């Protein structure tokens, strides 16, 4: 059995709807993120870190599989499931003796076909029941979808599920939010009813840290996926963090406060890893699942927001702290993407690429982490709804269905203010052809040329029904 001393522990942390500019280390003038700022000092700060999609569920699928979500049918939020044939990072590391845990937001299937829950759970869609434990997760504590970022089981009276409100005071009326935390800690998939009050990031970390402590106590390497709900609406700042921003407008104080609450828990986690003696041997990653929703969130000046394949929708904060292997204080300009997690971890553990029988979109970042020359052997391609994006280290091809192709020099013009397509027709055509070839390949995966059609038929998905006409045809 491998030990934590032999192989790195892995933690994948992710915020929900956190903009590139929503952290102090990227220049936000008000939001306090001292622990993320310290991570940026202690490890690698990725200037061009991309979520694989402009919305949450697809990016989550990419983190676990190393594949673009269009291959798996997770086209959009609340669309499809993480299909059972996919090979996940949980399964691969479990084979190497790792303890595996998932904490926070799942959003890749539902937990019950009996209990009405979250966005899709309940009797209307029994085909969507898809537990994390079916994908190599030993222990989970998770919700199907969003919850309030304080008192996560409570909806303030008179509010709608996507609203913002100030934290509930004692005696103030509320109803149930309608989304539950589920766990298999007893050996059965059950609704959790204990320790659910207060800051939701703390509620999540209260489960993740004991899992880590248990693995360390048995000298077992671990993989912990910690997917925070903050700052996805409904944003509700817990009292301490609300008061920290009392001079800010209503929306801002709750948005800023829930981010600082999440940051506090990241600091708590790092302190505990160090106290356990595994801080140096742990690959600790952080990112967001997409750009910011409307409201106080900021992109740092990058164009557009969540649901857009311009950079404001997919360029997100990205950090890696790994003291044993990654030099501190680096700012990395290379473009990387959430699909790179799985091949990077496999490379770090000397797991042969052949372990994954399907086509990967991500690449290993181990050369980059070591400070060696790194160059992707393919562009990073994205598709979301009626948008196409094919990005190299320098150039970005973008097109909406029915629109003209656009081209940007992302080094000279990172905010996509100057379309240079007319000056470089040959490059536009080259990137367009690369995108179309990639799109055809992902469609082949989705339609069954890798592992058949049973799971696609189970969730009753069709490529054209979900996507409409491809963005560039």
Query: Model-level pTM?
Result: 0.97
Question: Tokens 């009292």 map to which residue?
Answer: 239
Q: Is residue 100 pLDDT above 50, yes or no?
A: yes
Q: How confident is the model at residue 466 (pLDDT cuts 50, 70, 90)?
A: low
* Cα separations in angstroms, 315 against 285, 311, 351, 414: 16, 5, 29, 11
Q: Is residue 244 pLDDT above 80, yes or no?
A: yes
Burial per residue of 108-145, b for 16 or more beta-carbon CB atoms within 10 angstroms, e otherwise: bbbbbeeeebbbbbbeebeebbbbbeebbbbbbbbbbb
Cα 279 to the center of its chain, rounded Å: 22
Is residue 272 within 8 Å of 212, Cβ to Cβ?
A: yes
Share of the chain above pLDDT 90, in %: 96
Q: Is residue 280 pLDDT above 90, yes or no?
A: yes
If you average pLDDT over every residue of the chain, what do you get?
Answer: 96
For residues 389-408, give the mean pLDDT: 97
pLDDT in tens, 318-359: 999 999 999 999 999 999 999 999 999 999 999 999 999 999
pLDDT in tens, 76-93: 999 999 999 999 999 999
Q: Is residue 471 pLDDT above 70, yes or no?
A: no
Q: Is residue 473 pLDDT above 80, yes or no?
A: no
CATH homologous superfamily, domain 9-370: Alkaline Phosphatase, subunit A (3.40.720.10)
For residues 233-242, give the mean pLDDT: 98
Q: Is residue 469 pLDDT above 50, yes or no?
A: no
Report angle CA 253, 259, 263 to the nearest 5 degrees.
135
Please name every residue paired with 12 in a beta bridge, in sequence order, or none if there are none.
225, 285
Q: Is residue 113 pLDDT above 80, yes or no?
A: yes
Please provide the distance, in angstroms rounded to a whole number, between the alpha carbons at the two ends of the chain.
Answer: 52
Pick the CATH number of 380-467 from 3.30.1120.10, 3.30.930.10, 3.40.140.10, 3.20.20.70: 3.30.1120.10
For residues 170-196, give the mean pLDDT: 98
* Cα separations in angstroms, 403 against 61, 398, 400, 407: 29, 10, 5, 13
Q: Is residue 470 pLDDT above 90, yes or no?
A: no
pLDDT in tens, 24-51: 999 999 999 999 999 999 999 999 999 9
Is residue 131 within 8 Å of 111, Cβ to Cβ?
A: yes
pLDDT, residue 464, reads 80
Q: How confident is the model at residue 208 (pLDDT cuts 50, 70, 90)?
A: very high
For residues 237-262, give the mean pLDDT: 98
- Please tell me the distance from the alpha carbon of residue 125 to that of residue 127, in angstroms, as a whole number: 5
Q: How confident is the model at residue 105 (pLDDT cuts 50, 70, 90)?
A: very high
For residues 160-173, give the mean pLDDT: 97
For residues 377-395, give the mean pLDDT: 96
pLDDT in tens, 119-140: 999 999 999 999 999 999 999 9
Prior bond of 466 cis (ω within 30°): no
Residues 415, 418, 420, 422: is their CA dihedral positive or negative? positive
Share of the chain above pLDDT 70, in %: 97
Domain ranges of the chain: 9-370, 380-467
Q: Is residue 228 pLDDT above 70, yes or no?
A: yes
Q: How confident is the model at residue 6 (pLDDT cuts 50, 70, 90)?
A: low
pLDDT, residue 362, reads 98
């Amino acid at each position: 059995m491998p030990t934590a001393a032999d192989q790195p522990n892995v933690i994948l942390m992710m915020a929900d709807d956190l903009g590139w500019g929503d952290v102090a280390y990227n220049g936000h003038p008000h939001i306090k993120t001292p622990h993320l700022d310290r991570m940026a000092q202690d490890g690698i700060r990725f200037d061009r870190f991309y979520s694989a999609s402009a919305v949450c569920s697809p990016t989550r699928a990419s983190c676990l599989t190393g594949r673009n979500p269009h291959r798996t049918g997770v086209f959009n939020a609340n669309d499809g499931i993480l299909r059972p044939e996919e090979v996940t990072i949980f399964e691969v590391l479990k084979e190497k003796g790792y303890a595996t845990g998932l904490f926070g937001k799942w959003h890749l299937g539902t937990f019950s076909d009996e209990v009405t829950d979250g966005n899709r759970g309940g009797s209307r869609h029994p085909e969507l029941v898809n537990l994390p434990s079916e994908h190599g997760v030993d222990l989970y504590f998770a919700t199907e979808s969003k919850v309030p970022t304080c008192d996560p089981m409570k909806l303030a009276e008179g509010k709608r599920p996507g609203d913002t409100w100030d934290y509930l005071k004692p005696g103030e009326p509320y109803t149930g939010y309608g989304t539950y935390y589920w766990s298999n800690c007893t050996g059965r998939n059950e609704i959790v009813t204990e320790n659910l009050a207060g800051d939701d990031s703390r509620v999540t970390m209260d489960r993740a840290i004991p899992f880590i402590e248990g693995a360390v106590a048995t000298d077992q390497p671990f993989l912990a996926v910690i997917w925070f709900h903050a700052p996805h609406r409904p944003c509700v700042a817990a009292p301490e963090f609300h008061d920290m921003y009392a001079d800010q407008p209503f929306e801002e104080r709750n948005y800023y406060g829930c981010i600082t609450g999440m940051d506090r828990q990241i600091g708590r986690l790092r302190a505990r890893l160090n106290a356990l003696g595994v801080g140096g041997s742990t690959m600790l990653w952080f990112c967001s699942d997409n750009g910011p929703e409307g409201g106080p969130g900021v992109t740092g000046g990058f164009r557009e927001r969540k649901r857009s394949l311009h950079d404001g929708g997919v360029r997100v904060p990205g950090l890696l702290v790994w003291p044993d292997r990654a030099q501190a204080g680096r700012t990395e300009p290379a473009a990387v993407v959430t699909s790179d997690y799985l091949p990077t971890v496999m490379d770090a553990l000397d797991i042969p690429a052949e372990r994954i029988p399907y086509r990967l979109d991500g690449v290993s970042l181990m050369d980059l982490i070591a400070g060696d020359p790194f160059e992707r052997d393919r562009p990073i391609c994205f598709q979301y709804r009626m948008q196409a994006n094919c990005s190299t280290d320098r150039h970005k091809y973008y097109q909406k269905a029915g629109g003209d192709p656009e081209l940007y020099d992302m080094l000279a013009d990172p905010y996509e203010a100057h379309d240079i397509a007319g000056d470089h027709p040959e490059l536009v055509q080259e990137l367009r052809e690369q995108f179309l070839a990639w799109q055809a390949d992902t469609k082949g995966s989705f339609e069954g040329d890798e592992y058949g059609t049973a799971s696609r038929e189970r969730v009753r998905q069709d490529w054209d029904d979900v996507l409409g006409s491809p963005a560039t045809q």
